[in-house]
């Protein structure tokens, strides 16, 4: 019975972690765009966006990442035999990439808190989709428990990634068109 509670907590913290990752990059986009605004707007927007990012990052996202790891190891303790399964090794590989993504987000967060922009808002929009691709990969691997399905999954991820990139480019064109009208 304890295993089910631990697994449920792991899933809850995975969910809150991803929610934080999805939203923090949206805030990065807003922060980047705010820094490009005239001084009067920037003076109002930047402190508020920095405060929002700070609270999200340190109150939700970081704790969720740590608790995901703790409960993940605990779940793994109950299912140690899975380590020999190819699907689990692949899943853990994607989880490692997710933590690397998290640390890169932390670097972006630190830069933006200091008013430094190294990424454009378009680059950040594309960066935001990396978490989506990782979410798909991890969930499909853990649910299907099959490496054979990973071939189809990788194909699906590639199609998803291409579709998202095209959507981002289309959205950028629409935004630029609307801005030129104003």
Residue 10 in marked binding region: yes
Cα(45)–Cα(139) distance, integer angstroms:
36
Output helix, strand, coil percentages for the chain, rounded to the nearest 5.
90, 0, 10
Q: Is residue 145 within 8 Å of 85, Cβ to Cβ? A: yes
Instruction: List the structure tokens of 116.
Output: 């430094």
Q: Is 106 annotated as a binding residue?
A: no
- DSSP letters, 94-134, are HHHHHHHHHHHHHHHHHHHHTT---S-HHHHHHHHHHHHHH
Nearest in space to 105 (alpha carbons), one of 175, 176, 159, 24: 24
Give ∠ CA 137-22-125 in degrees, rounded to 5.
Answer: 95
CA count, 13 A, side-chain hemisphere, 175? 9
Per-residue tokens: 176: 């630029």
Contact criterion met (CB below 8 Å) for 5 and 101: no
Which positions make up the binding site? 10, 91
Which positions make up the binding site for heme? 10, 91
């Amino acid at each position: 019975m304890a295993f089910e509670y631990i697994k449920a907590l792991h899933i809850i913290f995975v969910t809150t972690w991803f929610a934080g990752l999805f939203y923090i990059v949206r805030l990065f986009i807003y922060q980047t765009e705010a820094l490009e605004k005239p001084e009067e707007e920037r003076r109002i927007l930047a402190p508020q966006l920095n405060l929002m990012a700070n609270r999200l990052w340190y109150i939700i996202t970081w704790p969720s990442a740590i608790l995901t790891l703790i409960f993940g190891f605990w779940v793994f303790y109950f299912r140690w035999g899975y380590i020999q399964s190819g699907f689990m090794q692949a899943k853990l590989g994607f989880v490692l990439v997710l933590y690397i993504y998290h640390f890169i987000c932390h670097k972006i967060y630190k830069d933006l808190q200091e008013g430094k922009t190294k990424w454009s808002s378009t680059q950040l929009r594309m960066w935001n989709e990396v978490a989506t691709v990782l979410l798909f990969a991890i969930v499909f691997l853990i649910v299907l428990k099959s490496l054979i399905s990973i071939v189809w999954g990788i194909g699906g991820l590639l199609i998803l990634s291409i579709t998202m990139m095209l959507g981002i480019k289309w959205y950028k064109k629409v935004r630029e068109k609307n801005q030129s009208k104003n």
